[in-house]
Amino acid sequence: MTTSSLLSEPAEIGVIGGTGLYELFTDAAQFRVETPFGEPSDVLTVGTVSGRRVAFLPRHGPGHSLAPHRINYRANLWALRSAGVRRVLAPCAVGSLRRELGPGSVVVPDQVVDRTSGRTCTFYDEGGASHVSFADPYCADGRTAVLKAAADTEQPVVDGGTMVVVEGPRFSSRAESRWFASAGWSLVNMTGMPEAALARELALCYTPVALVTDLDAGIDADESVTQEDVYAVFARHIERLRALVLSAVDALPRERTCDCARALDGMALPFDLP
C-alpha cells in the first residue's frame, strides 16, 4: 500500500478507532496530512464502503503506540476535516459501571462527562472567546444511523447512557468506580474527550460506538481490571464492532441537516476551517 500527501478524492466519513478496519476497504490508499497542530496519530487510510469515501485513522497510532493522554486529538480531528470528512464514527473500548452491561455489550451513549486533566481541549486558544454548544455532545443523526444499522443486522445494542472519560492510562480505583456509578453514569473510557468536544469545534458530526470490555473494578468486588483481559475481550468482539461500524456508514444520511453542521453559525473563528 503506497502513501501519498495528495488526496485524489475527498473522504466523506471518518472513522477513528482500532487497527484493522481498513482491511475491508475496496480500494484503500494511505495519505499523510499535515496540520497546524502537529502530526496526527498516523496516516489516513482512505477507501470505499458502500459507495462512500471513508477515511480511517488509528487513534492510538501504529501498533497501539500512543497512550490515551499522549494522543494528539487536535491534529487527528483537523486532519480528518482537511480530508473532507464531516461525519465521524468513533468505535471505542469502555469499562462498564452497570452490572447489566457486561463484557461484549455494545452501547451508543448519548452523554459524556469529562474527568480528564492536562489535555489540550480546544482549538480556540487565541482570537477572543469562542463558545460552542455542547449540551448534546453526540450527533443525533449519527446515533440514529448506528441504531438502525444494529437493528438491520440484528445486533443487540443499548441506546443511550453517559460515558465518563478519565485521564488514564491507569484504570480506576474501586472508590472511583463506585463514585462514577453512584452518579448514574454507565461507561468509563479514556479517549472520548477532548475528541468529542474538538469535533464539535470543527462542526463535525461525532458518534461514539462503545464496546464494553470489562466491569469496572468497583462494580465487581471480586475482580480487578487488567490490560490483558481488556485486550482479550476486545479481540473477541472486534469483528462484530467492525461490521456494525461499516453498516452504520451506509445508514448515515447523505445530507447533513443536524445541529452539528450549524455548530459554528454566527461565531467569529480565530482561524479558517480546512
The rounded average pLDDT for each run of 10 residues, N- to C-terminus, in the chain (274 residues) is: 63 85 72 95 93 94 92 98 97 95 96 96 84 96 98 96 97 94 97 98 97 88 77 85 94 95 89 86
Q: Which residue has the cell 445494542?
A: 157
Residue 22's pLDDT is what?
A: 59
Cell of 132: 460552542
| Residue 38: CB atoms within 10 Å | 10
Residues 6 or more apart whose Cβ sits within 8 Å of residue 170: none
Residue 2's pLDDT is what?
A: 47
Write the class of the CATH domain 8-262.
alpha beta
Which residues make beta-bridge pairs with 215?
Answer: 96
How far apart CA 69 and CA 184 sit, in angstroms, is 25
Residue 128's pLDDT is what?
A: 72
Residue 7's pLDDT is what?
A: 65
Strands (E) in 97-155, as ranges, are: 106-108, 111-115
∠ at Cα 258 (146, 238), nearest 5°?
A: 20
Residue 96's pLDDT is what?
A: 95
Residues with a known catalytic role: 214, 216
Residue 1's pLDDT is what?
A: 47
The structure's pTM equals 0.94
Q: Which residue has the cell 477515511?
A: 55
How far apart CA 115 and CA 110 sit, in angstroms, is 17
Q: Give the residue among 40, 58, 52, 123 at the shortest CA–CA distance from 85.
A: 52
Q: What are phi and psi of 207, to 5 degrees?
A: -135, 115
CA 175 to mean position of chain CA atoms:
27
